[in-house]
Amino acid sequence: MRIVPEVTVPAHSAVRIQGPKTVYVDPFHLAGAPHDADLICITHDHYDHLSPEDIARIAGPDTWFALPETCRDAAVKAGLPEERMLLLSPGEHLTWQGIVIEAVPAYNVGKKFHPQANAWLGYVIEMLGRRYYVAGDTDDNPDVRRVRCHVAMLPVGGTYTMTAAEAAGLANAIRPGVAVPTHYGDIVGQSRDADEFARLLDPRIRCDLAK
């Protein structure tokens, strides 16, 4: 049974949250072209997170975009309208049409793929009376352990991000009500990683695959 039906993970790290506004994070390998996005949040400029083809499937003439300040040039090159960009640095927050967006640092520890110096992001998106944390490509680190949220969407595929065990350890530390595994089943990671993540969660945290 779905626990957070307003949240779906269409593929890989793509997240859709349906509230008073329709919010996507890192759209990738989407089916269809609903053009229903009010806000698209981009965590960083790797091709599986900043995908012009997938953005074109969901964006409309009034869609806004939240992204790291350091990804401005890549976003402009990808065709995103600069006049509708909300540029953020780690630790900043803003309110857009009643939705609070917090920029959380996202970076690797002991890996080279997502350096802290790049100032890439995860997001806490506050709407519907809940705080939804979409971690982006990150490892467990002191910054992400400061997050407080109701729903945590954490990468579990390993290689470029946390493993299932590491992601469960982070979830158990920050204690959301619901945890959702991401970043598996496409480029890296298997369904067994999501199963392992669910198995290792504190039993007080419910797991929703959000598929």
pTM of the shown model: 0.97
The DSSP element (H or E) to which 10 belongs, if any, is none
How far apart (Å, rounded) are the C-alpha atoms in residues 119 and 91? 10
Contact 193, 157 (CB under 8 A): yes
142, part of any domain: yes
171, part of any domain: yes
2, part of any domain: no
Structural domains in the chain (count): 1
Instruction: Output the CA–CA distances (angstroms, integers) from residue 15 to 42, 123, 141, 149, in the order listed.
Output: 11, 11, 22, 16
What pLDDT is attached to residue 163?
Answer: 96
How far apart (Å, rounded) are the C-alpha atoms in residues 166 and 159? 12
Instruction: Output the CA–CA distances (angstroms, integers) from residue 97 to 72, 151, 209, in the order listed.
Output: 22, 21, 29
Which one is predicted more confidently, 12 or 142? 142
56, part of any domain: yes
Question: For the chain, what percent of residues have pLDDT higher than 70?
Answer: 100
What pLDDT is attached to residue 69?
Answer: 98
- CATH code for the domain of 112: 3.60.15.10
Beta strands in the chain (DSSP E): 7-8, 15-18, 22-25, 39-41, 64-68, 85-88, 93-96, 99-105, 121-127, 130-134, 151-155, 178-182, 206-207
Q: What would the pLDDT profile of 13-65 be if each residue is shown by its tens digit? A: 899 999 999 999 999 999 999 999 999 999 999 999 999 999 999 999 999 99
How far apart (Å, rounded) are the C-alpha atoms in residues 30 and 112? 28
Q: What would the pLDDT profile of 100-113 be if each residue is shown by its tens digit? A: 999 999 999 999 99
- Tell me the CB-side half-sphere exposure of residue 52, using CA atoms within 13 A: 8
1, part of any domain: no
Please, which pLDDT band fits residue 199 given cuts at 50, 70 and 90? Answer: very high
Q: What would the pLDDT profile of 138-151 be if each residue is shown by its tens digit? A: 999 999 999 999 99
71, part of any domain: yes
What pLDDT is attached to residue 202?
Answer: 97
139, part of any domain: yes
What pLDDT is attached to residue 1?
Answer: 64
70, part of any domain: yes
Which range of residues forms the domain containing residue 110? Answer: 7-207
Q: Check whether 209 has a pLDDT greater than 80.
A: yes
